[in-house]
A and B are shown apart, each in its own frame.
Chain A
Amino acid sequence: MIQQSNNWVPLFPEKASSFAWQVDALYFYLIAISAFFTVIVVAAIFYFAIKYREKEKFQNGAEIHGSLLLETTWTAIPFLLSMTIFLGGAIVYYNQYRPPKDAMEIYVVGKQWMWKFQHPTGQREINELHVPVNRRIKLIMTSEDVIHDLYVPAFRTKADAVPGRYTTLWFEATKPGKYHLYCAEYCGLNHSGMIGWVYVMEQKDYENWLAGNVSSQTPAQAGRELFEAKLGCASCHQQTDQGRGPKLAGLFGKQVKLTNGQTVVADEEYIRNSILNPQGQIVEGYQPIMPTFKGQVTEEQLVALVEYIKSLGNETASMSK
C-alpha cells in the first residue's frame, strides 16, 4: 500500500519530516544503551549461573554482604546515562513542540470519528490533509466532543486535540508521498476508523490542488460529496422528516413556510442564503440550530451544493412519475 510494504516484516517506519531524524537518532541511542545493559546483565547471569551452579546439595555460597564501591558505581552510571537521555529527549521535544513563527496555519477539528481540516485559503477536507513539501505547517487543533490525538508516524509527532482548548502541532514534511494519519487517543466506538492520509505534494501540485484542478466531478457530484461527507449536512438533513433539519429532497422550486410567517420559493438564492445565513430563514417547525457556513465553503462549493439540492428535486420528481 505504501512504500515500506515491500518489506515482509516491517521494522522501521518511513521518515518524512524535518525532525524525524532526531527522533530516530534518539531511538538508536536508547537501543544502544538498552542493548549494552541487557547484554551485560544477561551475560553476567549466564556466566554466574553456569560457573556457580550448585556443586553439592545444600552447600552454601560465599559470605559476601555487598560493596559500597560497586553500589556507587552502578548508581552513578545509570544516573548519568539517564540524564543524557533526558537531555536528548528534551531537545527533541523542544523541536517538536515549539512551532516556528512563519508557519502556514491549518485549523484542525477532531470530531467522533473524523478529522476536519481547514486551509488558510478556506478549503476544507475531511480525513485527508494536503500539504506542500518543505513548508512549515502549524496545525491549530481542538475537538468538538472528546479528546482525540492527531498522529502521523512518518512525521514522528502527535498531539492531543482537547475540547475547550486549542493545542498546536507543527511539522515540515520533507518528502512528497502519502502517509498514515491516525487518531491516537481512544475516542469511542469508531476510534480505529478515525484515520486518514496526509498527502505531501510539491508546491506546484499543492497549488493546483488548492485551485481545485484535481477535481473531475460534475458540480452535483461534488455537491453530493460535500453534503454527505465533507460538510456533514446529511447528519441533520436526512432522507426523512425525522432529522434535526428539514428534508431537502424535492425541495427545489417549492414554497417554504418560515417561522416568521413568510412564505418563500426555494430557489438558488434561497438555498445559498440558507447555507450562509441559516438564522435568517428558519423553516416552520424546526429549531434555529444550523451553524453558519460562511467562510467555510468557497463559492465553487456553494454552486456545487445548490446543484446537488436541485438534483435531489429532480430525482424525487422522476421517482414520483
Chain B
Amino acid sequence: MEKVEVRAEQTKPNYLNNGYSVWSWLFTKDHKRIAIMYLISISVIFLIGGIYAAGIRLELLTPQSDLFETGTYNKVFTHHGIIMVFLFLIPAIPAVLGNFLIPIMIGARDLAFPRINLLSLYIYWLGSAIILWALLQGGVDTGWTFYTPYSTTFSNTYVVATGLGIFINGFSSILTGLNFIVTIHTMRAPGMTWFRLPLFVWAHYATSLVMILGTPVVAITILLVALERIARIGIFDPTIGGDPILFQHLFWFYSHPAVYIMILPSMGVISELISNFSRKRIFGYEFIAFSSIAIAVFGFLVWGHHMFVSGQSIYAGLVFSILTMIVAVPSAIKVFNWTATLYKGQVSYDTPMLYALGFIGLFLIGGLTGLFLGAMGMNVHLTDTYFVVAHFHYVMVGGTVLGYLGGLHYWWPKMTGKLYSEFWGKISAMLVFIGFNLTFFPQFILGYMGMPRRYAAYPPELQVLNIFSTAGASVLGVGLLLPVIYLVHSLVWGKKAPDNPWLLPGLEWRTSSPPPTENFEQTPVVTWEAYDFSDENGLDVEKVKKELATV
C-alpha cells in the first residue's frame, strides 16, 4: 500500500507517507495510524466471527445436529458471540472511525492522550490474542453471556482464559472512552462550541460515558467468575451459599448498556450521512444530540428486562419494563428526525447513503421488536427464542454493521486518499440489505413458533424457515465479502481521491486526503454550525469544484 503512495506523484506530506517502517506504525502516536491498525485487526476478527456464523447457519440447515456434535455447535455459537460482541461490535466504530475522525472533526491535532490511545490498541491486541488462543486450545461453550453456575462450576472449557481476554479488552474500551471524553472537552478548535459539534462526535461522547461507567462492572464480574472457577469462593455457586442470579444482574448492568456502546456510534454515523447526502442541515440537531445522552443514561436502568423469567419480583419487572419503554422514545426521535431531514433536501444515492437508508429500515424493525421484548407478557413467551436472536441481529448487524460500513465507505477517500468503485459499492449495499432481511426475518417467526436459541437440533416442522435463513446468510456473506475485495482493490488501482469529493462543509473535508500527520496545516477557526451548507462558511467552493472536475 505504501509503495504505491510513493509511486504516485503525491508529494504532499500526509500521515501515510510519514515513515514506512514497521516501527513507524507500531510506535506511532498518530490517531490516524492507530485507527488504520484497528481497522485491519477488526476486519480480521470480523472474518473469523463470520466463519463461525456460517458454521451456525450450515448446522441449522437440517433439524438434526449432523454437521457438528452438539458440544461443537455450542462452542461455535459461543465463539461467534464472543468474537462479534467483545472484539468486533464494541470497538468497531469508536476505535476505527471515532479514532480517525474525532480529532479531525473538532479541529485538533490528535487525541488528548496519544500514548494511551496506542496503549489501548496494544491492550486490544493482547486481549484478542488471549481469547483467540483460548479458542484454539479448545474453546469455550458457555455462550457469550457466561451464565452461572454453568460457567463457574459445570463447563469444562477455557472459561478462565477467555474471561481474562475479555477483562483485558475491557480496559482497551475504557481507555478509548476516557480519551474521547477528555478530547471532546478540552481539544475543540477555537469557535467549535458544543452545539457546533458534528452529531458523530456527540454520539461518541455518549458512547464514551457508557464505556467508562459500564465496562469496569463487567470486568469485575468476569473476574469474579474466574475466581469462582479457580478458587470456588462461593459467590455465584448456590451449593455453597452463592446466588447465580447476582451474576445476571452484574452482567447485564454492563451488557445492556454495551448494546448502546455498539449502536450509538452507528447512529452518529447515520446522522452524518443523512444530513450530508441530503445536502441539508440535520433536522432537530439538539434533539438528536440529547437523545444520544438520554439513551446512554436510561440504558443503565433497564438491565432487568433480561431477567423477566428468572424469578425476579413482579414489581422489579414493572420498573424495568416501563424504563425499557421509555428508552425506546429517544431512538424513535432519531428515526423521525433522520426521515424529516430528507424533506426538501437534495438527496443523492452514493454507496454510504444506501447504507444509511438501509440502516433506518433495519433499525426501525430492530427497535420496534425491542418493544415486543420489553412488554413483559410478550417477553415471557419470546425470551430465549429465535425472536431475541433476530431482534438483536437487526440492531447489531442492521444497525451497527450497516453504520460501520456506511461510515467506512463515506470516509474511505479521506482515510486512504483513494476512490473505490461506486458500482460495486452499490451492489454490495443492496446484497447486504436483501441478504440480511432474508436471514433474520424468518427468525422472528421461528421465535414466535417457540424455537429456543442455542439449539443444535430443532423440531423438523421448523426446517423451511431455517432454510430461508441459511439461504439469506449466504447472500449476506457475499455482500459482506465484496467490500473487502473492491476496497482493497481501490488501495492499489483506485483513483486518487480529491480532498472534498462531495463538497461538504465538515472540518474533515477541509484538510487534504489523506490528512497530514497533524491533521491541519493551520488550526482551523470555526465560525459555522454543523451541516451548514450556506456558502459563507469559509469553504472555497469554486476551488473544490475545479478539483472535482479533474477527477
Which A residues are closer than 8 A to B by beta carbons?
Answer: 1-2, 4-5, 8-13, 22-23, 26-27, 30, 33-34, 37-38, 41-42, 44-45, 48-49, 52-56, 58-67, 70-71, 74-75, 78-79, 82-83, 85-86, 88-98, 112, 145-147, 149, 151, 153-154, 156-160, 162-165, 167, 180, 182-193
Closest CB-CB distance, A132 to chain B, in whole Å? 22
Find residues 370-408 in chain B having any chain A CB closer than 8 Å to their own CB: 371-372, 374-381, 383-385
For A26, what are the chain B residues with a Cβ–Cβ distance below 8 Å?
Answer: 375, 377-378
From A66, A93, A147, B317 is in contact (CB under 8 Å) with: A93
A30 and B239 contacting across the interface, CB-CB below 8 Å:
no
* A95→B378 CA distance, assembly (Å): 12
From A8, A44, A183, B452 is in contact (CB under 8 Å) with: A183
* A223→B279 CA distance, assembly (Å): 79
For B143, what are the chain A residues with a Cβ–Cβ distance below 8 Å?
Answer: 186
Q: Judge whether B126 is part of the interface by a CB distance below 8 angstroms.
A: no
10 tightest Cβ-Cβ pairs between the two chains A and B: A92-B377, A153-B450, A89-B375, A61-B280, A164-B238, A93-B376, A61-B345, A48-B342, A66-B284, A62-B344
With A13-B449, A162-B311: A34-B379 Cβ-Cβ less than 8 Å: no
B452 and A151 contacting across the interface, CB-CB below 8 Å:
yes
* A167→B313 CA distance, assembly (Å): 11
* A78→B332 CA distance, assembly (Å): 7
How many A-B contacts are there with CB distance less than 8 Å? Answer: 311
A145 and B383 contacting across the interface, CB-CB below 8 Å:
no
From B65, B149, B368, B457, A163 is in contact (CB under 8 Å) with: B149
For A33, what are the chain B residues with a Cβ–Cβ distance below 8 Å?
Answer: 368, 371
Closest CB-CB distance, B541 to chain A, in whole Å? 8
List 23 A-B residue pairs with CB atoms under 8 Å apart, sorted by A's residue number. Answer: A8-B464, A11-B449, A13-B448, A34-B369, A38-B364, A52-B345, A54-B279, A54-B346, A58-B503, A59-B279, A78-B333, A82-B371, A83-B322, A85-B371, A85-B375, A91-B377, A93-B314, A158-B384, A160-B311, A162-B311, A165-B311, A186-B147, A192-B70
B245 and A92 contacting across the interface, CB-CB below 8 Å:
no
For A85, what are the chain B residues with a Cβ–Cβ distance below 8 Å?
Answer: 325, 371, 374-375
With A52-B278, A71-B284: A63-B534 Cβ-Cβ less than 8 Å: yes
B348 and A52 contacting across the interface, CB-CB below 8 Å:
no
Closest CB-CB distance, A74 to chain B, in whole Å? 4
With A149-B384, A163-B238, A192-B70: A64-B449 Cβ-Cβ less than 8 Å: no
With A158-B383, A164-B238: A191-B454 Cβ-Cβ less than 8 Å: yes
For B536, what are the chain A residues with a Cβ–Cβ distance below 8 Å?
Answer: none
Q: Judge whether B154 is part of the interface by a CB distance below 8 angstroms.
A: yes
A89 and B321 contacting across the interface, CB-CB below 8 Å:
yes
Closest CB-CB distance, A36 to chain B, in whole Å? 10
A88 and B377 contacting across the interface, CB-CB below 8 Å:
yes
Q: Judge whether B37 is part of the interface by a CB distance below 8 angstroms.
A: no
A190 and B311 contacting across the interface, CB-CB below 8 Å:
no
Q: Is the interface of A mostly helix, strand, loop or mixed?
A: mixed
From B150, B325, B379, A188 is in contact (CB under 8 Å) with: B150
Residue of A nearest to B151 (CB): A146
Closest CB-CB distance, A111 to chain B, in whole Å? 11
Closest CB-CB distance, B458 to chain A, in whole Å? 7
For B227, what are the chain A residues with a Cβ–Cβ distance below 8 Å?
Answer: none
Instruction: Please indicate which of the listed interface residues A8, A79, A86 has the most CB atoms of chain B within 10 Å of its own CB.
Output: A86
* A62→B342 CA distance, assembly (Å): 10
A184 and B343 contacting across the interface, CB-CB below 8 Å:
no
A160 and B309 contacting across the interface, CB-CB below 8 Å:
yes
B464 and A23 contacting across the interface, CB-CB below 8 Å:
no
Q: Mark B35-77, 1 if CB is under 8 A from A, else 0.
A: 0000000000000000000000000000001000011001000
From B279, B285, B311, B345, A65 is in contact (CB under 8 Å) with: B285
A66 and B287 contacting across the interface, CB-CB below 8 Å:
yes
A86 and B311 contacting across the interface, CB-CB below 8 Å:
no
Q: Mark B334-375, 1 if CB is under 8 A from A, else 0.
A: 011101101111111100000001001100110011011011
B281 and A65 contacting across the interface, CB-CB below 8 Å:
yes
A82 and B329 contacting across the interface, CB-CB below 8 Å:
yes
Which B residues are closer than 8 A to A by beta carbons?
Answer: 65, 70-71, 74, 141-143, 145, 147, 149-150, 153-155, 238-239, 243-245, 278-281, 283-287, 308-311, 314, 317-318, 321-322, 325-326, 328-329, 332-333, 335-337, 339-340, 342-349, 357, 360-361, 364-365, 368-369, 371-372, 374-381, 383-385, 445, 448-450, 452-462, 464-465, 503, 533-534, 541, 545
From A34, A64, A183, B281 is in contact (CB under 8 Å) with: A64
For A8, what are the chain B residues with a Cβ–Cβ distance below 8 Å?
Answer: 464
For A34, what are the chain B residues with a Cβ–Cβ distance below 8 Å?
Answer: 365, 368-369, 371
From A60, A89, A180, B376 is in contact (CB under 8 Å) with: A89
Closest CB-CB distance, A128 to chain B, in whole Å? 16
Closest CB-CB distance, B55 to chain A, in whole Å? 15
* A74→B330 CA distance, assembly (Å): 10
* A4→B460 CA distance, assembly (Å): 12
For B455, what are the chain A residues with a Cβ–Cβ distance below 8 Å?
Answer: 182, 191-192
B364 and A158 contacting across the interface, CB-CB below 8 Å:
no
With A52-B346, A79-B326: A184-B384 Cβ-Cβ less than 8 Å: yes
* A136→B349 CA distance, assembly (Å): 59
Closest CB-CB distance, A64 to chain B, in whole Å? 6
For B464, what are the chain A residues with a Cβ–Cβ distance below 8 Å?
Answer: 8-10
B325 and A86 contacting across the interface, CB-CB below 8 Å:
yes
A159 and B70 contacting across the interface, CB-CB below 8 Å:
no
From A11, A45, A59, A88, B346 is in contact (CB under 8 Å) with: A59
11 extra A-B contacts, CB within 8 A, seeds A9-B464, A165-B238, A186-B384: A10-B449, A41-B339, A52-B345, A71-B337, A75-B333, A82-B326, A89-B377, A90-B377, A146-B150, A167-B311, A182-B455
Residue of A nearest to B344 (CB): A62
B381 and A182 contacting across the interface, CB-CB below 8 Å:
no
Residue of A nearest to B544 (CB): A58
B278 and A61 contacting across the interface, CB-CB below 8 Å:
yes
From A1, A44, A156, A191, B339 is in contact (CB under 8 Å) with: A44
For B329, what are the chain A residues with a Cβ–Cβ distance below 8 Å?
Answer: 75, 78-79, 82
With A41-B364, A92-B376, A189-B71: A147-B346 Cβ-Cβ less than 8 Å: no
B280 and A74 contacting across the interface, CB-CB below 8 Å:
no
Closest CB-CB distance, B300 to chain A, in whole Å? 19
B380 and A96 contacting across the interface, CB-CB below 8 Å:
yes
Closest CB-CB distance, B101 to chain A, in whole Å? 23
A158 and B309 contacting across the interface, CB-CB below 8 Å:
yes
Residue of A nearest to B288 (CB): A66
B155 and A188 contacting across the interface, CB-CB below 8 Å:
yes
For A183, what are the chain B residues with a Cβ–Cβ distance below 8 Å?
Answer: 452
Instruction: Please indicate which of the listed interface residues B154, B453, B455 has the most CB atoms of chain A within 10 Å of its own CB.
Output: B455
B345 and A42 contacting across the interface, CB-CB below 8 Å:
no
* A185→B343 CA distance, assembly (Å): 46
From A41, A61, A79, B279 is in contact (CB under 8 Å) with: A61
For A48, what are the chain B residues with a Cβ–Cβ distance below 8 Å?
Answer: 339, 342-343, 345, 347
